[in-house]
Amino acid sequence: MSKSNKNPRRINRSLLTVALASCLMVTAPAVLAQSSNATLRGKAPTGSSVTATNTATGLTRKVAVGADGNYALVGLPPGTYRVNAGEGTEKTVTLSVATSVTLNLAAGGAAPAPTGDATNLDTVQVTAPPLQEVKTSEVGTNVSLKQINTVPQLTRNFLEFADTVPGMQFETSTTGNSQIRGGAQTTSAVNVFIDGVGQKSYLFGGVSGQQGSAGNPFPQLAIGEYKVITSNYKAEYDQVGSAAIIAQTKSGTNEFHGEVFGRKTTTSWRAQTPAEEAANKKQPTHQNEYGASFGGPIIQDKMHFFVAYEAKDFVIPVDPVQLPDNFRATLTDDLPQSARDQLGPVSRPFSEDLYFGKIDWDVGENDRLELSAKVRRETGRDDVGNQTAVSASKNIKNDEERYDLRWQHYGEGYLNEARISYEDVLYNPTAYTMGNQTIYTNALNDGDQLLRVDATSGLAIQRKAQKGPSFQNDITFSSLEWAGSHVIKAGVKYKDIELTQSENSTANPSFYYAVADGQGTNPTPYQVRFNLPFSGASPIVTTKAKQYGIYIQDDWDVNDKLQLNLGIRYDYEKIPSYLDNVTPAEVVAALTGPGTDPAISATYAEQLAKGGVNLSDYVSNGGNRKADKNNWAPRLGFSYDFNGDESFVLFGGAGRSYDRNLYDYMGLEQVKSALSGYTLRFVEGGGCETAGEGNCFAWNPAYLNGIENLTGLVPSNVRTGEIDLLNNDLVTPYSDQYSLGIRNVIGEWNTSATVAYVHSKEGFVFTLGNRYPNGDFWQNGSQPWGHNPPGFGGLILGDNGIETKTTQLLLSADKPYTKESRWGFTGAYTYSHSKGNRGGDEHYAFDAATIEDYPFINLKAVPEHRFVFTGIYDLGWDITASAKLTLATTPPMNEVAPGSYFGGIPRPAAINDMPGQKFIIGGDIWGTRQLDLSLSKDMHVTDTVTVQIRGDLINATNAKNYNSFTAIWGDGTNYNPYATFNTGGGMYTPSRTLFMSARVFW
């Protein structure tokens, strides 16, 4: 496949190496503050020192003011500080997570502490609102603890509040699973950093532990606040292609504080789903959540602890079990009664336990140690609904452990931070039902699956894991002076991770039964599919991946108005299972042996070459693959404060960021080659005509009595399965990001308007390698599925090539909550224009010969228009009301249009004419309309103990926000695509649901 699109990303490697090495040599004694810490910089009297003291923990940091009157305090944990530079300069301020803010300290009378409600990471109340970060090139927004504690919430996943940030979407599927998306890129491109440690899943991307999960990645009780950066982040952030989310956990303080809560909803507290309305049957469901946290001093001003626990016990309504739209009306009555009994509304159970603990210790004046641990345990059921009945679903086991030890040393003008971390993450789905899976299909078309029942697919039995240690050392030099003031950061990271990819699909054979309109279901299967292991190979692949990262960042205040943010990052990863892989000899023999029609192509390799596939790009000998060494990522930005008072700031940036190729895909090359796949057809079921010819057999009911009765029908120890081959020159997916915007402070209001463009490239994709004997990919409207490499299943090729181009207008306005005003407000609007050659989270592309042949279409990943508003208001009598309103147009459908409209060849296409696709005016507006309401009452039992009762009403208007559609492509002759709602399907949002909660805190 063509690799010509990779050359433009090449950068002069020698020049960048010299520049980076030189910078690191200059800054060798020190290290960058962790990515969740804050930096405080500004002007102070020359010759003085600036001292900052945390009001809750007693932590104190001090720095000398430079000769030019500039100072910078780096590595400050978010919280409230008393800051002074001598008599008459003291101020009390709050620093938010991952911010760099300005505070000028002038003599002439102490500034009074501003009053209000601020983010507080240390579980005590403070009276200083946070300083706003406006002089930064990053496109980002902070989410406060006040929002987390007050705004209505469906999931108690702290990431849900990122939904209020322009350009972000927090998505909860109809199965209850949640994911977060930045822009129109894949959800795997997000990375979350908690206390400076990335939570990336190297198997699935995104946040580790969220695959198939209705749970939370971290106990919300332990999160203080977080920042969402949607593009143009600084060089310290790695393995991210869309949004970087930086969270800070709570810590213990000099006083004991704690909290206990419980939250509940049940069947009678929610409205029926559309499927339940259609069936006039409501599934019993419930959601119970509870937890506690406690923190306090071990040694006053020196050592503190904090612990938290949260749990979930759910039974969640999911999409109904039903036939596909195009067969539902005609074939449902033709299914056996035992299958029809499994149709209709269904639910799934889920449970989770989350633990977090943290100890911090200030050892002397200049050193700080911090030890933390997180443990996650989940069980549940997944892959149920639509064409999969409960009996064919799978059980989920999701375990995660993370440990982190951090040492910070504060020297004269620098901060050194070293950390050792360890992670152990396991995703282990197993079969809900063991035995024979039954698959009903439209006639003998095994691609038109109507319903799966009776047992779980063997492919669902998996074990996927990542575990291992990492070491990171970072450096910050504060207030270096040269043509202005510099804060220079640099760091290195090494990670040794064991990755496991396993698909133990030798159990549970799948029997296929033909269903015909008006004729019922043939009682004899027409085929069976099953897998057997190949001796000497294992469907479990484990490899030791090594990751290296290095970066440098200069935040340069050229003068009081102009700041430049100049950074560069380099990452390298070595995955031995990919680099050292040797394509099995049997596979090479089949690919270089006779073609499927030797009269046209003598060899299969010639057959592929005629179709544009060069086998030498994929066949590996253990020495012809090299890791991608070109992952240089420059990140440049600026901000200009027109008035010098941060009231009107122009900012912008351009940069590159590398994500990663996911091991869930990269491990398939070995996993698939270890399994031999077999398809046997039966005369009595109509699958073939003459028993004994090829894979055609007479039916025997004994075949249903165990897979051992099938193994005797096939040759033993022969590779016959699907062939997955990866390109020998895989590169790392990345995105180029550009932005330009303005920030304004108008009284108590903060506003921002940004135009952002993100071009993501080299996303991983699997395509169909099969070709017809003459090299064609399409003949008579069909792909060459019947022209597999002789003796094997299909040829699947893994390449880079998925590409998206997204332009967004990001508008925001917020008025922070204060006790004086008694109210707060946030508003976010996102306009998106996004095109790509593959949408959503798709990584299979079998509807064109190569990914380069896919057209760029409007993507379904993001709506064109989206508003999110939140509001908080104190009603008096310790009663607080809050609301969240979400309005969004319906995104396009990305489907394959029938070939009858395009000369007989189906074509990937977008349907833009969607119900609810209009904006404000023009007919059917707003495909998603969700109003969430919350009301809480605080009751002060004593001076220190408060009981809170709260109700959250999600989707208060019970809006029908359908996410299931029926595509209409035209009248059979004229192409005129549009879609209609499937009113019996699922919804983007839950039906109206009431949650009641009680909380005791002290």
For residue 296, the SS3 value is strand
The answer to whether residue 922 scores a pLDDT higher than 80 is no
pLDDT for 130? 80
**8 A C-beta contact, residue 930 and residue 991:** no
Residues 726-741 have pLDDT tens digits of: 999 999 999 999 999 9
For residue 876, the SS3 value is strand
Residue whose entry in the numeric block shows the structure tokens 């921002």: 752
**8 A C-beta contact, residue 871 and residue 882:** yes
Q: Other CB atoms closer than 10 Å to residue 31's CB: what's the count?
A: 26
> Which tokens is 94 given?
């709050």
Position 14 confidence tier, pLDDT thresholds 50, 70, 90: very low
**8 A C-beta contact, residue 788 and residue 199:** no
Share of the chain above pLDDT 90, in %: 73
**8 A C-beta contact, residue 297 and residue 256:** yes
Query: What is the DSSP code (8-state) at residue 32?
Result: P
Task: Classify burial at 449, counting beta carbons within 10 Å of its beta carbon; exposed 0-12, middle 13-18, buried 19 or more.
Answer: middle
- Cβ neighbors of 755 (< 8 A, separation 6 or more) are 739, 740, 741, 807, 808, 809, 810
**8 A C-beta contact, residue 141 and residue 166:** yes
| pLDDT, averaged across the chain | 90
> Which tokens is 203 given?
């198997």
**8 A C-beta contact, residue 790 and residue 775:** no
Cβ density class 892-929: b for 16+ within 10 Å, e for less:
bbbbebbeebeeebbbbbbbbebebbbbeeeeebbbbb
Residues 783-792 have pLDDT tens digits of: 999 899 998 8
Query: What is the DSSP code (8-state) at residue 616?
Result: G
Please report, in angstroms and rounded to a whole number, the separation of the first and last CA atoms in the chain. 63
Phi, psi angles (nearest 5°) of residue 312: -130, 140
Rounded Cα–Cα distance for residues 425 and 310 (Å): 19
Rounded Cα–Cα distance for residues 587 and 478 (Å): 59
CA 550 to chain centre: 24
Query: H-type helices in 161-292, by residue range?
Result: 274-279
The answer to whether residue 490 scores a pLDDT higher than 90 is yes
Residues 446-485 have pLDDT tens digits of: 889 999 999 998 888 899 999 999 999 999 998 788 999 9
pLDDT for 458? 85
C-alpha separations of 751 from 232, 375, 754, 810, 812 in Å: 19, 39, 10, 11, 6
Least confident of 10-19, 518-527, 579-588, 917-926: 10-19
Rounded Cα–Cα distance for residues 447 and 442 (Å): 8
Residues 866-878 have pLDDT tens digits of: 999 999 999 999 9
Task: Classify burial at 976, counting beta carbons within 10 Å of its beta carbon; exposed 0-12, middle 13-18, buried 19 or more.
Answer: exposed
Position 116 confidence tier, pLDDT thresholds 50, 70, 90: very low
- Cβ neighbors of 706 (< 8 A, separation 6 or more) are none
C-alpha separations of 473 from 34, 235, 417 in Å: 9, 14, 6
pLDDT for 114? 41
Residues 798-828 have pLDDT tens digits of: 999 999 999 999 999 999 998 899 999 999 9
> Which tokens is 106 given?
């002038």
C-alpha separations of 217 from 121, 310, 349, 743 in Å: 19, 11, 18, 32
Position 839 confidence tier, pLDDT thresholds 50, 70, 90: confident
Angle at 947 between CA 942 and CA 949, to 5 degrees: 155
Rounded to the nearest 5 percent, the helix, strand and coil shares of the chain are: 10, 50, 40
The region that residue 435 occupies, defined by phi over 0 for left and psi between -120 and 50 for alpha, beta otherwise, is: left
The answer to whether residue 902 scores a pLDDT higher than 80 is yes
Answering whether pTM is above 0.85, one says yes
pLDDT for 107? 65
The answer to whether residue 935 scores a pLDDT higher than 90 is yes
The answer to whether residue 111 scores a pLDDT higher than 50 is no
> Which tokens is 726 given?
């990866």
Residues 300-334 have pLDDT tens digits of: 999 999 999 999 999 988 888 999 888 988 999 99
Rounded Cα–Cα distance for residues 233 and 834 (Å): 21
The answer to whether residue 24 scores a pLDDT higher than 70 is no
pLDDT for 9? 46
pLDDT for 492? 97
3-state secondary structure 341-381: CCCEEEEEEEEEEEEEEEEEEEECCCEEEEEEEEEEEEEEE
Q: Where are the beta strands (DSSP E) in 129-221?
A: 139-143, 168-172, 178-182, 191-194, 197-198
Residue 957 or 133, more confident: 957
Least confident of 81-85, 115-119, 616-620, 765-769: 115-119
> Which tokens is 274 given?
């559309």
What mean pLDDT comes out for the span 894-899?
92
pLDDT for 826? 96
Q: Where are the beta strands (DSSP E) in 791-927?
A: 795-815, 823-836, 844-845, 857-858, 865-876, 879-888, 893-897, 907-911
Q: Pick from 342, 346, 373, 353: which is nearest to 213 by CA?
A: 353
CA 62 to chain centre: 39
C-alpha separations of 651 from 140, 234, 740 in Å: 12, 14, 6
Query: What is the DSSP code (8-state) at residue 137?
Result: S
Angle at 782 between CA 779 and CA 788, to 5 degrees: 90
Rounded Cα–Cα distance for residues 693 and 93 (Å): 82
Position 34 confidence tier, pLDDT thresholds 50, 70, 90: very low
The answer to whether residue 954 scores a pLDDT higher than 90 is yes
